[in-house]
Amino acid sequence: MAENNGKDLSRTENGKLHELVLEGLSCTTCQVRIEEGISGLPGVTSARINFMDKTLAIDITDQERAYEILSDSRKIITDIEPEIIVKEKMVAGGGRKMYLLLGLCCAECALAIEEKIRNIPGVTRAKIDFGKKQLFVDMDDEDRARLIEKEAQEKAESVVRGIRIRDEEKKLDLLRKIRLALFAIGTGVLVSTMIFQPPAGIAFWLYIAAYALAGGDVLWQAIKNMGRGQIFDENFLMSIATAGAFVVGEFPEAVSVMVFYKIGQFLEDMAVDRSRKRISSILQLRPLWAMKKHGNTLVRTNPEEIRIGDEIQVGPGERVPLDGVVTEGMAFLDQSALTGESVPVKKETGDEVSSGSLVKNSVLVLKVTKTLGDSAITRIMDFVDQVHEKKAKTEHFITKFARVYTPAVVMAAVLVAFIPPLFIPGQVLSDWVYRALIFLVISCPCALVLSIHLTYL
């Protein structure tokens, strides 16, 4: 999290925020269940998900149990939505990774492995949850993660022969790729069947195969949720609509609807991930140091120590660390990180310059007009860091609305299917069942719910 003049923004009034990125989260009903499940854990005061950038912020008061709480949170998340890939949010170049320890059966060995990994360069903390066979590693440089993982494997094997450190995220990524491949095959089977139109008996089984490959995971998730008593969600809505289409003999439509639904999910995830990455890239603009002028000499200084009226020098290829006014030099600045405008802007003596701008071609000397805490880039980062706390009333409303929307839609579909044939002479039940299924498909709440978060962000 960001620091503002020494203030740790990751600390709340009650505890400390820990953030997880939930890649693949696409169900607003799941969001509500995850928030409620994690909020109920001992030592947690609140859990909030920003649906747009897929970030979960957990306010933990009991820091001694932080690793255990995060582990329990992961389990709650994957139990509710197995396809979600849970990652620690990387901050200021570093972060935390979780590994599974295969072959660990000795508590004393776990302590020895923990100690050895803790001494690896770049590792700031290592913790093993022996009961769950999980290893948490805090590192100060994300780019060295693979080297640290390799060295951790060697250290662990020196204690327990045959032990394996497995990155759970890689396993989930592999499963995701497998599902994508199955979807592509299923789509291919659907298109081929519709084009070549084989005999009815063969076509039926080809449509069944295409449905299972392209949307079987949606159907399976709906069945599992029903087993937990969690019936009404997007998976249930799509499953009952497409299964109903099979019952009334509309095989191509049943599979096509599921394929289009999955394509919509993929495109939605792509758009959301792109937006999240762009927002996260702002954090890379944080100034690590500034070149402060002392007469004719330059001193590398922490930006927090720079005061209003001090002079700093910024060279070509460097980002402006603090807001200021140009006192010497002329240069073109890239301000796209702040304004989105890609055309360089000319700055010369007397012009104001915002922190986060990139000097393109010359040296500038600036007189600082704002401290780090008041500079433009810090204010932007503070907003990003605290976005979980600033949800609009509409966003809160739409999250709650999603909990009752699907049951209401299902009930309305039942009325559409059975009321007209019962009370209007000459109406055919199969026709109205078909219309009810169409109603279920077009009533999927994903786009409606996402649009509120997207607009707000």
Instruction: Give residue-wise pLDDT tens across range 155-203.
Output: 888 888 888 887 766 666 677 788 889 999 999 999 999 999 999 899 9
d(C-alpha 447, C-alpha 457), whole Å: 15
Mean pLDDT of 105-134: 82
Q: At what angle do helices 200-227 and 168-196 cross, to 10 degrees?
A: 150
pLDDT of residue 385: 58
pTM of the predicted model, to two decimals?
0.58
Burial of 146 (0-12, 13-18, 19+ CB in 10 A): exposed
Residue 134: pLDDT band (50, 70, 90) is: confident
* Helix (H), strand (E) at residue 7: strand 7-8
pLDDT of residue 2: 36
**Bridging pattern class, strands 364-368 and 164-167:** unpaired
d(C-alpha 309, C-alpha 216), whole Å: 65
Residue 305 has pLDDT above 70, yes or no: yes
Structure confidence by residue, pLDDT tens digits, 308-327: 999 999 999 888 999 999 99
Query: The domain 3-170: what is its CATH number?
Result: 3.30.70.100
What are the residue ranges of CATH 3.30.70.100 in the chain? Answer: 3-170
Cα 85 to the chain's mean position, in Å? 8
Q: Which of 233, 234, 244, 218 is nearest to 435 (CA)?
A: 244
Residue 93 has pLDDT above 50, yes or no: no
Q: Which residues pair with 308 in a beta bridge?
A: none
- In degrees and rounded to multiples of 5, residue 140 shows phi and psi of -95, -5
Joined tokens for residue 383: 């907003």
Mean pLDDT of 88-102: 65
Lateral strand order in the sheet of 164-167: 123-129, 134-139, 95-102, 164-167
Residues contacting residue 23 through CB under 8 Å, at least 6 positions apart? 54, 84, 85, 86, 87, 273
Please give the class, per CATH, of domain 286-380: mainly beta
Structure confidence by residue, pLDDT tens digits, 27-56: 666 787 888 889 999 989 888 887 766 788
pLDDT of residue 404: 79
Joined tokens for residue 310: 């001090």
Residue 398 has pLDDT above 70, yes or no: no
Residue 24 has pLDDT above 80, yes or no: no
Structure confidence by residue, pLDDT tens digits, 201-245: 999 999 999 999 998 888 888 888 787 777 777 778 788 888 888
Residue 60 has pLDDT above 90, yes or no: no
Residue 261 has pLDDT above 90, yes or no: no
Higher pLDDT, 213 or 129: 213
With b for 16 or more beta-carbon neighbours within 10 A and e for fewer, the 320-342 pattern comes to bbbbbebeebebebbbebbeeee
SS3 content of the chain, % helix, strand, coil (to 5): 55, 20, 25
What are the residue ranges of CATH 2.70.150.10 in the chain? Answer: 286-380
